[in-house]
Amino acid sequence: MPETRIPSFVHQRNRLSEGQQHAWDRWWGTWGGEVADTTELVADRPLVLEIGPGMGEATAAMAAAAPEVAHVAVEVFEPGLAKLLMLRAELGLQNLRLLRGDAWDLLERAVPEGSLEGVRVFFPDPWPKRRHHKRRLVRPEFVELVASRLRVGGWLHLATDWQHYADQMLRVCDAVASTGSLVRDPAMDPWLPRPDSRPLTKFEQRAVREGREIRDLRYLRQ
Protein backbone atom coordinates (compact mmCIF):
# COMPACT_ATOMS: atom_id res chain seq x y z
CA MET A 1 0.00 0.00 0.00
CA PRO A 2 1.45 3.41 -0.93
CA GLU A 3 2.59 5.38 2.10
CA THR A 4 0.50 8.39 1.09
CA ARG A 5 -2.77 6.47 1.15
CA ILE A 6 -4.75 6.57 4.36
CA PRO A 7 -6.52 3.21 4.84
CA SER A 8 -10.30 3.26 5.06
CA PHE A 9 -10.39 0.44 7.58
CA VAL A 10 -8.77 -0.74 10.78
CA HIS A 11 -8.12 -4.46 10.62
CA GLN A 12 -8.61 -6.21 13.92
CA ARG A 13 -8.54 -9.97 14.31
CA ASN A 14 -11.99 -11.02 15.43
CA ARG A 15 -12.85 -14.29 17.11
CA LEU A 16 -15.02 -16.58 15.01
CA SER A 17 -18.01 -18.41 16.42
CA GLU A 18 -17.87 -22.18 16.40
CA GLY A 19 -20.00 -22.34 13.25
CA GLN A 20 -17.96 -19.65 11.52
CA GLN A 21 -14.71 -21.41 12.37
CA HIS A 22 -16.07 -24.67 10.98
CA ALA A 23 -17.07 -22.91 7.75
CA TRP A 24 -13.66 -21.26 7.52
CA ASP A 25 -11.77 -24.49 8.04
CA ARG A 26 -13.93 -26.35 5.55
CA TRP A 27 -14.37 -23.88 2.70
CA TRP A 28 -11.96 -20.96 2.85
CA GLY A 29 -9.23 -22.85 0.98
CA THR A 30 -11.65 -23.58 -1.87
CA TRP A 31 -13.90 -20.52 -2.10
CA GLY A 32 -11.70 -17.86 -0.55
CA GLY A 33 -8.31 -16.30 -1.12
CA GLU A 34 -6.00 -13.45 -0.18
CA VAL A 35 -5.85 -10.16 -2.07
CA ALA A 36 -2.08 -10.27 -1.63
CA ASP A 37 -1.95 -13.56 -3.54
CA THR A 38 -4.29 -12.48 -6.36
CA THR A 39 -2.35 -11.61 -9.50
CA GLU A 40 -5.24 -11.03 -11.92
CA LEU A 41 -8.98 -11.03 -11.38
CA VAL A 42 -10.73 -12.32 -14.47
CA ALA A 43 -13.89 -14.31 -15.24
CA ASP A 44 -15.57 -16.02 -18.18
CA ARG A 45 -18.76 -13.99 -17.62
CA PRO A 46 -19.67 -10.46 -16.47
CA LEU A 47 -17.74 -9.71 -13.29
CA VAL A 48 -19.08 -7.66 -10.37
CA LEU A 49 -16.89 -6.65 -7.44
CA GLU A 50 -18.44 -5.90 -4.06
CA ILE A 51 -16.34 -3.99 -1.54
CA GLY A 52 -17.18 -4.57 2.11
CA PRO A 53 -20.03 -7.10 2.08
CA GLY A 54 -20.33 -7.05 5.88
CA MET A 55 -22.01 -10.24 7.07
CA GLY A 56 -22.86 -11.18 3.49
CA GLU A 57 -26.67 -11.39 3.63
CA ALA A 58 -27.22 -9.06 0.68
CA THR A 59 -24.20 -10.38 -1.21
CA ALA A 60 -25.46 -13.95 -1.16
CA ALA A 61 -28.95 -12.86 -2.21
CA MET A 62 -27.59 -10.86 -5.16
CA ALA A 63 -25.36 -13.72 -6.28
CA ALA A 64 -28.32 -16.11 -6.10
CA ALA A 65 -30.48 -13.72 -8.14
CA ALA A 66 -27.88 -13.38 -10.93
CA PRO A 67 -26.21 -16.76 -11.59
CA GLU A 68 -25.04 -15.52 -14.99
CA VAL A 69 -22.74 -13.02 -13.24
CA ALA A 70 -19.46 -13.76 -11.46
CA HIS A 71 -19.52 -12.10 -8.03
CA VAL A 72 -16.36 -11.34 -6.04
CA ALA A 73 -16.63 -9.98 -2.50
CA VAL A 74 -13.58 -8.40 -0.87
CA GLU A 75 -13.53 -7.82 2.88
CA VAL A 76 -11.14 -7.58 5.85
CA PHE A 77 -13.63 -8.68 8.53
CA GLU A 78 -13.13 -12.44 9.05
CA PRO A 79 -16.47 -13.16 10.79
CA GLY A 80 -18.27 -11.59 7.84
CA LEU A 81 -16.29 -13.68 5.37
CA ALA A 82 -16.97 -16.82 7.41
CA LYS A 83 -20.70 -16.07 7.51
CA LEU A 84 -20.67 -15.51 3.75
CA LEU A 85 -19.00 -18.91 3.31
CA MET A 86 -21.90 -20.42 5.26
CA LEU A 87 -24.44 -18.65 3.05
CA ARG A 88 -22.61 -19.71 -0.11
CA ALA A 89 -22.83 -23.33 0.99
CA GLU A 90 -26.45 -23.05 2.14
CA LEU A 91 -27.59 -21.56 -1.16
CA GLY A 92 -25.35 -23.70 -3.35
CA LEU A 93 -23.82 -20.66 -5.04
CA GLN A 94 -21.29 -21.45 -7.76
CA ASN A 95 -20.72 -17.86 -8.89
CA LEU A 96 -19.31 -16.26 -5.72
CA ARG A 97 -15.68 -15.94 -4.66
CA LEU A 98 -14.38 -14.27 -1.48
CA LEU A 99 -11.15 -12.36 -1.03
CA ARG A 100 -9.60 -11.08 2.19
CA GLY A 101 -7.67 -7.83 2.07
CA ASP A 102 -7.60 -4.27 0.79
CA ALA A 103 -9.96 -3.65 -2.13
CA TRP A 104 -7.95 -0.64 -3.23
CA ASP A 105 -4.85 -2.83 -3.55
CA LEU A 106 -6.87 -5.41 -5.48
CA LEU A 107 -8.15 -2.80 -7.95
CA GLU A 108 -4.68 -1.35 -8.49
CA ARG A 109 -2.74 -4.57 -8.93
CA ALA A 110 -5.04 -7.33 -10.06
CA VAL A 111 -8.04 -5.89 -11.91
CA PRO A 112 -7.41 -5.11 -15.59
CA GLU A 113 -8.69 -1.84 -16.98
CA GLY A 114 -12.15 -2.07 -18.52
CA SER A 115 -12.82 -5.54 -17.11
CA LEU A 116 -15.60 -5.04 -14.55
CA GLU A 117 -19.32 -5.06 -15.19
CA GLY A 118 -19.94 -3.26 -11.91
CA VAL A 119 -18.66 -2.28 -8.48
CA ARG A 120 -20.81 -2.20 -5.34
CA VAL A 121 -19.96 -0.24 -2.20
CA PHE A 122 -22.88 -0.60 0.18
CA PHE A 123 -22.80 1.07 3.60
CA PRO A 124 -19.04 1.61 3.90
CA ASP A 125 -17.68 2.75 7.26
CA PRO A 126 -18.89 6.37 7.52
CA TRP A 127 -16.08 7.45 9.85
CA PRO A 128 -18.52 9.97 11.33
CA LYS A 129 -16.05 12.02 13.39
CA ARG A 130 -14.78 15.00 11.43
CA ARG A 131 -11.14 14.20 12.12
CA HIS A 132 -11.67 10.76 10.57
CA HIS A 133 -13.36 11.87 7.34
CA LYS A 134 -10.01 11.51 5.57
CA ARG A 135 -10.34 7.74 6.07
CA ARG A 136 -13.54 7.44 4.07
CA LEU A 137 -13.20 5.10 1.12
CA VAL A 138 -15.13 7.20 -1.40
CA ARG A 139 -12.70 9.93 -2.37
CA PRO A 140 -11.66 11.23 -5.81
CA GLU A 141 -8.68 8.94 -6.38
CA PHE A 142 -10.73 5.88 -5.45
CA VAL A 143 -13.61 6.75 -7.79
CA GLU A 144 -11.15 7.49 -10.60
CA LEU A 145 -9.55 4.08 -10.05
CA VAL A 146 -12.92 2.32 -10.09
CA ALA A 147 -13.95 4.16 -13.26
CA SER A 148 -10.80 2.97 -15.04
CA ARG A 149 -11.62 -0.67 -14.19
CA LEU A 150 -15.21 -0.55 -15.45
CA ARG A 151 -16.09 -1.54 -18.99
CA VAL A 152 -17.91 1.04 -21.09
CA GLY A 153 -21.47 0.95 -19.80
CA GLY A 154 -20.37 -0.59 -16.50
CA TRP A 155 -21.65 0.85 -13.24
CA LEU A 156 -20.63 2.00 -9.77
CA HIS A 157 -23.40 1.65 -7.18
CA LEU A 158 -23.01 3.28 -3.77
CA ALA A 159 -25.32 3.31 -0.76
CA THR A 160 -25.07 4.86 2.70
CA ASP A 161 -27.28 5.72 5.65
CA TRP A 162 -25.17 8.77 6.66
CA GLN A 163 -26.35 11.95 4.94
CA HIS A 164 -23.00 13.72 5.29
CA TYR A 165 -21.23 10.82 3.59
CA ALA A 166 -23.93 10.67 0.90
CA ASP A 167 -23.31 14.34 0.13
CA GLN A 168 -19.58 13.65 -0.09
CA MET A 169 -20.16 10.67 -2.39
CA LEU A 170 -22.33 12.80 -4.66
CA ARG A 171 -19.74 15.58 -4.76
CA VAL A 172 -16.84 13.26 -5.44
CA CYS A 173 -18.57 11.21 -8.12
CA ASP A 174 -19.92 14.31 -9.87
CA ALA A 175 -16.39 15.74 -9.92
CA VAL A 176 -15.06 12.58 -11.57
CA ALA A 177 -18.04 12.60 -13.95
CA SER A 178 -17.09 16.13 -14.99
CA THR A 179 -13.87 14.71 -16.48
CA GLY A 180 -15.93 12.57 -18.85
CA SER A 181 -15.23 9.09 -17.46
CA LEU A 182 -18.55 8.67 -15.64
CA VAL A 183 -22.11 9.88 -16.02
CA ARG A 184 -24.95 9.87 -13.52
CA ASP A 185 -27.54 7.15 -13.86
CA PRO A 186 -30.53 8.91 -15.49
CA ALA A 187 -32.74 7.77 -12.60
CA MET A 188 -30.77 9.88 -10.09
CA ASP A 189 -32.54 13.07 -9.03
CA PRO A 190 -30.16 13.59 -7.26
CA TRP A 191 -30.46 10.23 -5.49
CA LEU A 192 -31.33 6.90 -7.02
CA PRO A 193 -34.61 5.30 -5.90
CA ARG A 194 -33.69 2.14 -4.03
CA PRO A 195 -33.42 -0.53 -6.75
CA ASP A 196 -35.06 -3.92 -6.25
CA SER A 197 -31.68 -5.51 -7.01
CA ARG A 198 -30.29 -4.29 -3.67
CA PRO A 199 -31.80 -6.49 -0.94
CA LEU A 200 -33.20 -4.87 2.16
CA THR A 201 -31.04 -6.06 5.07
CA LYS A 202 -31.56 -6.05 8.83
CA PHE A 203 -28.85 -3.38 9.06
CA GLU A 204 -30.76 -1.10 6.70
CA GLN A 205 -34.05 -1.70 8.49
CA ARG A 206 -32.42 -0.68 11.76
CA ALA A 207 -31.00 2.48 10.19
CA VAL A 208 -34.47 3.44 8.99
CA ARG A 209 -35.94 2.80 12.45
CA GLU A 210 -33.27 5.08 13.90
CA GLY A 211 -34.32 7.85 11.51
CA ARG A 212 -31.51 7.69 8.96
CA GLU A 213 -32.47 7.96 5.29
CA ILE A 214 -30.83 5.56 2.87
CA ARG A 215 -29.16 7.20 -0.10
CA ASP A 216 -28.30 5.27 -3.29
CA LEU A 217 -26.12 6.60 -6.10
CA ARG A 218 -25.21 4.94 -9.39
CA TYR A 219 -22.84 6.14 -12.07
CA LEU A 220 -22.14 4.65 -15.48
CA ARG A 221 -18.81 4.38 -17.33
CA GLN A 222 -18.70 6.35 -20.54
For the domain made up of 23-112, give the CATH fold: Rossmann fold (3.40.50)
- Model-level pTM greater than 0.85? yes
Q: Is the pLDDT assigned to residue 131 strictly greater than 90?
A: no
CA dist., res. 74 & res. 76, Å (int)? 7
Asked if 47 and 115 count as a contact pair (C-beta separation under 8 A), the reply is: yes
pLDDT of 138-166, one tens digit each? 999 999 999 999 999 999 999 999 999 99
Average confidence (pLDDT) over 100-119: 97
CA dist., res. 81 & res. 215, Å (int)? 25
Domain ranges of the chain: 23-112, 121-222
Confidence of residue 202 (pLDDT cuts 50, 70, 90): confident
Confidence of residue 1 (pLDDT cuts 50, 70, 90): very low
Asked if 200 and 165 count as a contact pair (C-beta separation under 8 A), the reply is: no
Residue 199 CA to chain centroid, in angstroms? 14
Domain 121-222 has CATH 3.20.20.70: no
Active site residue ranges = 125
Say yes or no: do domains 23-112 and 121-222 share a fold: yes
